[in-house]
Amino acid sequence: MLNGWVVSVVFITLLVSLCNPRGVSDIKTLDFSQTHTHTLFSFLSTLQYDFYRESCPNAENIVRSSVANIYSHHHDISASLLRLFFHDCFIQGCDASILLDPITGDETYSTEKQAIPNLTLKGFHEIDQIKEELERVCPRVVSCADILSLATRDAVVLAGGPFYPVFTGRRDSTRAYFKEAMADMPRPDDSINRTLYLFATRGLDERDMVSLLGAHNIGKIGCQFILNRLYNFSGTNLPDPSIDPEFLNQMRSKCQEKENNDNSGSQDHMSPASSPVSKEASVEKLRRSTLDMSYFQELSSALSSEGGFDTHYYKSLLSGRGLLYADQQLMANEKTGRLVQGYASDDGSTFRRDFARAMVKLSVLDVLTGSQGQIRERCGY
């Protein structure tokens, strides 16, 4: 009994420090602080540590071993789940609404999955796999929202990222939010002001945002998301002037190399970099070939050290080598630029600590609990 109290007190203390390492006054400097301080803290009364300890005692172990098994075959599961989780939590909270499939026969119903920013998300099948395993042991007990939260944490740790506590007891949404995903997901070509605004409306401050973007330390980026930067920035027909010139050439040739490989044998292939006449047609071709979602370029890891959870993302921003415009924009604001500088200049421990804290904040955004929502039998519907 006493042990239980001690554990609770330790966790509440840890929680408060993780949620608000710099004091509530810091959070309140944001325009939307009143609402979102509430959003951030409302989970304290509802989510719990080890929520399934009685209803499905093995739940967290099952998630952990499934993720480890998937990871042993596909290391890219960590990046896939981390991105999927971010896209779920950012729109109407961590409620697994991102996992819902379109309803067959109902053309009027659009899901979050179908929204443009979500078209290249991966990891759905793996979450379904874990859910199936859990359904065999504890039918209709463990929510898809909790599975995604736990699996993401476990996958981050496997990729060399920091451990952070995941509180459970989330329930699943009964609907998806297509319009909200179209309007409110940050875009790769967003300015720093718009990105800051979108994060602030969710109670995530500059430090949270800059550390969360460190997720771009791992994974892949399709060339489609940087083509405008490489060839036609803001309709100028010129590259983004903020790109380091040597890096521009590297990115162009990496993307082109991939396109060449994909099209070897194709008769009408043209190189965008080779002649001005062929440029437009080739860029269009590059863009089209990316739309089939099979065109991924491992630029991050190709142009960095190990591609793990270290500080290479921040170091690359310092030298003008961010992949997305939105990444590089972190250097265009004094406060975010200072944070980048700070993360880049130690052994990675500051970034890892802040990333862990920010992931806890992200993971409790607008959660459904108690009798809200539902526990889905399958995550897709």
Contacts of 326 (CB under 8 A, 6+ apart): 186, 187, 188, 189, 190, 192, 195
276 is in an annotated binding site: no
The two structure tokens encoding residue 118: 């979500």
133-141: long-range contacts (C-beta < 8 A, 24 or more apart)?
A: 133/62, 133/66, 134/56, 134/59, 134/62, 134/63, 135/377, 137/56, 137/58, 137/59, 137/62, 138/52, 138/55, 138/56, 138/58, 138/59, 139/377, 140/375, 140/377, 141/52, 141/55, 141/56, 141/59, 141/375
Q: Residue 278, annotated ligand binder?
A: no
What is the set of active-site residues? 87
x/- mask, ligand HEM, residues 318-337, rule CB under 6 A, reads ------x-x-----------
Is 83 a binding residue for ligand HEM by CB under 6 A? The answer is yes
Among 80, 149, 363, 369, binds ligand HEM (CB under 6 A): 80
Q: Cβ(343)–Cβ(350) under 8 Å?
A: yes
Q: How far is the CB of 221 from ligand HEM (least distance, A)?
A: 4
Q: Which is nearer to ligand HEM, 19 or 82 (CB)?
A: 82
We find the least distance from the C-beta atom of residue 195 to ligand HEM, in angstroms, to be 4
Q: Which of 43, 52, 71, 86 binds ligand HEM (CB under 6 A)?
A: 86
Please state the closest distance from residue 223 (CB atom) to ligand HEM, in A.
Answer: 8
Does residue 321 contact residue 244 with C-beta atoms inside 8 Å? yes
Please select the residue that binds ligand HEM; options are 19, 63, 79, 145, rule is CB under 6 A.
79
Map residues 197-226 to x or -, x wherever contact with ligand HEM holds by CB under 6 A: ---------------xx-xx-xxxxx--x-
How do the residues of the chain divide into helix, strand and coil, expressed in percent and rounded to 5? 60, 0, 40
Nearer to ligand HEM, 122 or 170 (CB): 122
Q: Which is nearer to ligand HEM, 33 or 195 (CB)?
A: 195
Cβ–Cβ < 8 Å for 188, 228: no
| Residue among 198, 225, 221, 217 nearest 209 (CA) | 198
Q: HSE of 381 in the Cβ direction (CA atoms, 13 Å)?
A: 6
Contact between 82 and ligand HEM by CB under 6 A: the answer reads yes
> What character string, x for contact with ligand HEM (CB under 6 A) and - otherwise, covers 39-58?
--------------------
Number of residues that bind ligand HEM (CB under 6 A): 24
Secondary structure (3-state) at 221: strand
Quick one: 81 or 134, whose CB is closer to ligand HEM?
A: 81
CB nearer ligand HEM, residue 62 or residue 286: 286
97 is in an annotated binding site: yes
- Distance in angstroms (rounded) separating the CA atoms of residues 176 and 97: 5
237: left (phi over 0), alpha (psi -120 to 50) or beta: left
Site string for ligand HEM, 224-263 (x = CB under 6 A): -x--------------------------------------
CB-side neighbour CA atoms (13 Å) of 291: 7
State which residue has the least CB distance to ligand HEM.
219
120 sits near ligand HEM (criterion: CB under 6 A): yes
b/e sequence 36-52, b meaning 16+ C-beta within 10 Å: bbebbbebeebbbbbbb
The answer on whether 101 is annotated among ligand-binding residues is: no
Contact (Cβ atoms closer than 8 angstroms) between residue 158 and residue 182 = no
* Residue 340 in contact with ligand HEM, rule: CB under 6 A: no
Q: Taking CB under 6 A as the rule, which mask of x and - marks residues 59-78 in contact with ligand HEM?
A: -----------------x--
Binding residue ranges for Ca(2+): 88, 93, 95, 97, 112, 292, 310
Contacting positions for ligand HEM (CB under 6 A): 76, 79-80, 82-83, 86, 120, 122, 186-188, 195, 212-213, 215-216, 218-222, 225, 324, 326
Binding residue ranges for substrate: 186
